[in-house]
Structure 1
Amino acid sequence: MKIIKNKIFWGVYLLPVILLSACKKTFLEKVPTDAIVDASFYKTDDQVLAGTALLYSKVWFDYNDKASYNLGDFRAGTAFSAYNDRGNVLFNTTGDNPDNSAAWRAFFIVVAQSNLTRQNIETYAGDGVSATVKKQAIAETRFMRALAYRFLVMNWGEVPVIENNTKLLLDTSLRKNTVPSVWKFIINDMRAAANDLTATPVRPGRLTKWAAEAMLARFYLNRAGVGSNSAGQRNQSDLDSAKYFADRVIKQGGYALLPNYANLFLFPYDNNTESIFSLQWVFSPGAWGTQNSTPAYLAYSGDIANGDGWGGDKSATWWMMKQYDGFTVNAADNELKGRTLDQRLKATFMLPGASYPEITQSIPGGEQRLVFPFTGSDNNFLSIKKYVTGKAKDNAGLAAQQYYGHDTYMMRLAEMYLIYAEAELGNSSSTTNAVAVDYFNKVHMRSGLPAFEDPLTLDVIFKERVLEFAMEGMAWYDLVSMHYYNAQKAYSILNAQDRGLFFTKPDQFPNPTQWTLTKTPWATTDRVINANSGNFLLPIPTPELDQAPNLKKPAVDYYAQ
């Protein structure tokens, strides 16, 4: 196979079958890299599908590795790290922050690889490739690029839209594009993907038109507040589109909620009936980047891991625990007490004395089924459970240090139900619409809670989304979506959160019937943040501005250039 040297955006390169390690360069540093341009590939349907396969895994590796929870949960206040990732926890991320650069790079890797894969297919696909598969493969690249740009515009605001990375070799005038025009580009891409993707997956885990329509429901709901002229008002046409696509996916997509919420995150759960789109990781020791590394950073200890387990300082926040029905807070807001019927708590975070028989725990002299320890005297952590599946023996042998095989949800059916409810609510203060309430309760009651019988409000739906999707990298984007049309409400939610240390005591150990949470009295600093218009969005990384100084100029409409 003939290989030539080429320079491409990001210094990242996608081979049809083997994706080499990504280069950690600034996104405009044009270093020589290898790219297959040989016409001997892309000659069959199998080869073309092989060429897009890694768009489901390795190109998303840097996002999944740490940026997913760093942005989606730490920044949102659903969880925190006491000693690491503090830029997002405390809302003081700067352009020089390495986590900021890593997240920025992660999404532009997806953009670059999607562009290059599409270019290869359009250039080299032979007559032996069916029209259906060629359309499917190009649609996959557009889907992934649109999703990456959704993350970019919601984290950094004005960003440059790039459709052809090789053109950057001669382009020194790259500018940011306006938020409305980036959103137009995103939705155009996803609509094109929806038109060309097949209704059923061509291979297990592959994208379908229903995945694209589900993303359109999300995108229209997100965009509805862009350019709002008054607080609380969203674009009705976008709300209607969000409801339309959500309802289509619910009624025609063939998906179904799993009866037990916790089963969504037990081994093996990949590509279940609720999963609309997941990143497709594989347990592949030695093939770095195609595996799921995130559990290594979330598991609280090596006692339940595989030579990793570095998440001992990660925890639910005080604010997050206040969202669960059944816990009562005292007047001083320094003590929470009670328990909840909401099964999502145990499936998302670990409380002292809670039992997880699916995970093996090492103890002195042997092993046992996991009982989350009760330690400390004035502070401890409610560690992350979601996506933590234990040792190799708990995963049919398919786990090793930083190598796990289970997938990452990017879209679940539950979100379609809640999108429909929020879009139906729209600009009203409340709704009793029967379909919206029914859809809401399908999610709410699956968690073990009784039917919600009061009118639905934005606060009720927002809370439900926080509870349903905590530690799935979602809550931050709900706040950004809110910020588009009611910035003060988003700031108010964030600034009312307590992100500091606390102590959780069970009434008995093991098998508690309730817990008492008390704020750590000596931990008086860094408990709250000051979210405002100056720090809500992330700053473009300084190295990128140094490489492309035109990014400092005012943004332009992508479609007016």
Structure 2
Amino acid sequence: MTIKSIYGFVAAGLLLTACGKEFIERPSLSGTTTGNYYNSAEEVRAATSTLYSGLPWRNYESRAQDAIGDVMGGNMFTYTDVEYLNFTMSSASERIGAAWGAFYKIIGYANVMIKTFEEKKASGGGASYLDPAIAECHFIRGTVYFYIARTWGAAPIITDPGATALSGNFNIPRYLQSDVLRFALEELKLAEAGLPESDVAGRLTKYSAKGMMAKVYLYQKDYTNAKAKAQEVIDSGKYRLVSDYNGMFTKTSMNNNEETLFSIQHQLSGDPWGTGNIKNPDRGAGALRTAEADAWEMYIPSLDLLKEYEFGDLRRKWSVMEHGWTNTAWKPQRVNAPKYNAFMANGFKYDTLQPVEDGGSLSPTRSNITKYFAGPGKSFGGDAVLGQNSGNNVVLLRYADILLIYAEATLAGGASSSDAKALQALNLVRARAGLAPRTSFTLDQIMHERRVEFAFEGDYWYDIQRQGYAKAKAIIEKQNRGTVTAANYLTNFSEDRMYLPIPAGELVQDPELAKDPVPYYK
């Protein structure tokens, strides 16, 4: 399979060609040079924009992110990805292969760019614009390896696919998860050193790297460094919690807002980044399907998540549609549907009593997701939607996470904390949600806050996982993963479900992946 070059790659004549393994993306060995290319910041930034776009991220952010992060975590119900709901997934499961392929493709892009830019710099290219670009690549590579380590545990590390291809040895082993995490951190440190203090909206900065490092350190239970890095982001004064929580995910006008440290970039047309966001139809209530917007509610809120919200938590209505939820600006209409059109004439009403064909909603949990659902289309009062596509960025790291990392790192595994600064960070998140401040907090309370704050953002499974098998089993087996008519409680969650299996196709092509992991660092 050949992946055509994008943006700067087109100009440079570089091709990324798979060499028999999805996880080894290598540059063309045709002898192309960079002598006439990457001579300006504009050319280089055009190339690195690929790393932010939906093009390489698509097979992860579309469905795999939901299935792994929220269906497995118990935040979403689905009839489509039942194997993730019940932890019966196998190495042949579709989302596993999709995420693996996407992650290693992104790494392939970053690998080629790092090598290309370093060669250009060595031949006299401008360090002023090449060094920040190399740092962007290190951030992306580090972040993706962090995702890989959390998802599969032990995994291959590829940094020079060209050398691998020339060697002819494609039997790449899995490396210890601890080494994959160490590699991710080393990459993020390089990013921190090379990225600018500030940049145009959407571009990475030093504080993006510091924030992601804080998240990696927290995963490793290195609370001292997690707290220190989170503190650096907080002290920068560059970020704040935005008041329009729902708008962060549903309004293109709020892309790259002051809460965002890193997002996958999307636009509908004239797109310098890549592709549109295709989460819209998977989350949208069927009652909002129109000639402009698809909506087939593949993923819906779980009953267990709905029980998690405290009374008065505004994030519930900002994240979930339930009976009585309204949006008077949305006025969906359909051809030859007089009852439906009359019901929606004065604005959208989420109603579980009205017949479905006349505008009612009757999902298995009597709820639907609002995050990343842009609405019924511009003609019907919503943001612009083109079929399956919206222009909303997918946020992978935001300031609320930094605040909660700081609070949890201050707790540092203790029973409870009443530290003033940690409480201030936690209570900023709670205040936006309309909740009373806490005077002390426990780990369970932090995990509760993370669950409702980041619901449907693909992160909750990892919050469960990083607490260890015994705690994960207790959490999973208490969750109702069923519907309003049929409860479903798992009783067979086992330790081998803590990480996903490597895709079957990769195991066939590289038998080393089926063996025990080995150290990466000698």
TM-score between both structures, scaled by the size of structure 2: 0.88
What does residue 4 of structure 1 align with? none
What does residue 332 of structure 2 align with? 361
Q: Distance in 2 between matches of 1:410 and 1:24?
A: 30
Q: Is the 8 A contact 2:50 2:274 kept in 1?
A: no
Q: Does the alignment pair 1:172 with 2:198?
A: no
Which structure 1 segments of 5+ residues have no match? 1-9, 225-237, 327-340, 503-519
- For residue 242 of structure 1, what is the amino acid of its counterpart? A
Q: Is the 8 A contact 1:44 1:126 kept in 2?
A: no
What does residue 195 of structure 1 align with? 193
What does residue 433 of structure 1 align with? 419
Offset of 1:62 from its aligned partner? 1.6
Q: Which moved more, 1:432-441 or 1:285-294?
A: 285-294
Q: Distance in 2 between matches of 1:212 and 1:219?
A: 10
Q: Distance in 1 between matches of 2:458 and 2:82?
A: 17
What does residue 407 of structure 2 align with? 421
Cα 1:357–1:118 change in 2 (3 A) is farther
- Of 50, 55, 73, the residue aligned with 2:46 is 50
What does residue 330 of structure 1 align with? none
Offset of 1:289 from its aligned partner? 5.2
Q: Is the 8 A contact 1:298 1:388 kept in 2?
A: yes
Q: Is the 8 A contact 2:16 2:27 kept in 1?
A: no
Q: How does 1:111-510 map to 2 (within 5 A)?
A: 111-124=107-120, 129-169=125-165, 170-201=168-199, 203-224=200-221, 238-267=222-251, 268-284=253-269, 290-301=275-286, 303-304=288-289, 307-326=292-311, 341-362=312-333, 364-365=337-338, 366=341, 368=345, 369-375=347-353, 379-390=364-375, 391-393=377-379, 398-453=384-439, 455-483=440-468, 487-502=469-484
Q: Distance in 2 between matches of 1:246 and 1:479?
A: 21
Q: Report the structure, 1 or 2, having the larger strand content.
A: 1
Q: Distance in 2 between matches of 1:540 and 1:262?
A: 35
Cα 1:25–1:291 change in 2 (3 A) is farther
Q: Distance in 1 between matches of 2:299 and 2:179?
A: 37
Q: Distance in 1 between matches of 2:409 and 2:25?
A: 43
Offset of 1:14 from its aligned partner? 4.1
Cα 1:432–1:110 change in 2 (3 A) is same
Which digits, 9 at most, give the CA deviation of each residue in 1:227-255, with x for residues without a partner?
Answer: xxxxxxxxxxx201000110110111411
Cα 1:352–1:43 change in 2 (3 A) is same
Which digits, 9 at most, give the CA deviation of each residue in 1:42-77, with x for residues without a partner?
Answer: 111110111101100122122111222111111101
Between the two proteins, what is the percent identity of the paired residues?
28
Q: Is the 8 A contact 1:296 1:305 kept in 2?
A: no
Offset of 1:344 from its aligned partner? 0.5
Q: Distance in 2 between matches of 1:28 and 1:441?
A: 42
Q: Distance in 2 between matches of 1:22 and 1:62?
A: 18
What does residue 15 of structure 1 align with? 6
Offset of 1:257 from its aligned partner? 0.9
Which digits, 9 at most, give the CA deviation of each residue in 1:368-406, with x for residues without a partner?
Answer: 422113157894531110111111346887420122211
Q: Is the 8 A contact 1:153 1:182 kept in 2?
A: yes
Q: Is the 8 A contact 2:329 2:382 kept in 1?
A: no
Cα 1:39–1:111 change in 2 (3 A) is same
Q: Distance in 2 between matches of 1:534 and 1:311?
A: 33
Which digits, 9 at most, give the CA deviation of each residue in 1:529-560, with x for residues without a partner?
Answer: 63221222111111100000111122111112
Cα 1:117–1:18 change in 2 (3 A) is closer
Cα 1:130–1:124 change in 2 (3 A) is closer
Cα 1:96–1:408 change in 2 (3 A) is same
Which digits, 9 at most, give the CA deviation of each residue in 1:140-193, with x for residues without a partner?
Answer: 111111111111111111001111122232223310000111111010100110
Which digits, 9 at most, give the CA deviation of each residue in 1:197-218, with x for residues without a partner?
Answer: 00001x3210000000000110
Cα 1:393–1:530 change in 2 (3 A) is farther
Q: Distance in 2 between matches of 1:150 and 1:476?
A: 14
Q: Distance in 1 between matches of 2:84 and 2:313?
A: 28
What does residue 358 of structure 2 align with? none
Which digits, 9 at most, give the CA deviation of each residue in 1:481-509, with x for residues without a partner?
Answer: 222xxx2011110111111011xxxxxxx
Cα 1:59–1:448 change in 2 (3 A) is same
Q: Which moved more, 1:403-412 or 1:304-313?
A: 304-313
Q: Report the structure, 1 or 2, having the larger helix content.
A: 2
Q: Is the 8 A contact 1:172 1:548 kept in 2?
A: yes
Offset of 1:34 from its aligned partner? 9.8
Q: Is the 8 A contact 1:312 1:381 kept in 2?
A: no
Q: Distance in 1 between matches of 2:388 and 2:124?
A: 39
Q: Which moved more, 1:127-136 or 1:465-474?
A: 127-136
What does residue 232 of structure 1 align with? none
Q: Distance in 1 between matches of 2:38 and 2:291?
A: 39
Cα 1:543–1:78 change in 2 (3 A) is same
Q: Does the alignment pair 1:72 with 2:69?
A: yes
Q: Distance in 1 between matches of 2:91 and 2:330?
A: 40
Q: Is the 8 A contact 2:142 2:185 kept in 1?
A: yes
Task: Tell me the SS of whatever aligns to 1:261.
Answer: coil
- For residue 489 of structure 1, what is the amino acid of its counterpart? K
Q: Does the alignment pair 1:99 with 2:83?
A: no
- Of 547, 552, 556, the residue aligned with 2:509 is 547
Q: Is the 8 A contact 1:48 1:129 kept in 2?
A: no
Offset of 1:291 from its aligned partner? 1.7
TM-score between both structures, scaled by the size of structure 1: 0.83
Aligned residues: 498
Q: Distance in 2 between matches of 1:389 and 1:537?
A: 33
Which structure 2 segments of 5+ residues have no match? 356-361
What does residue 516 of structure 1 align with? none
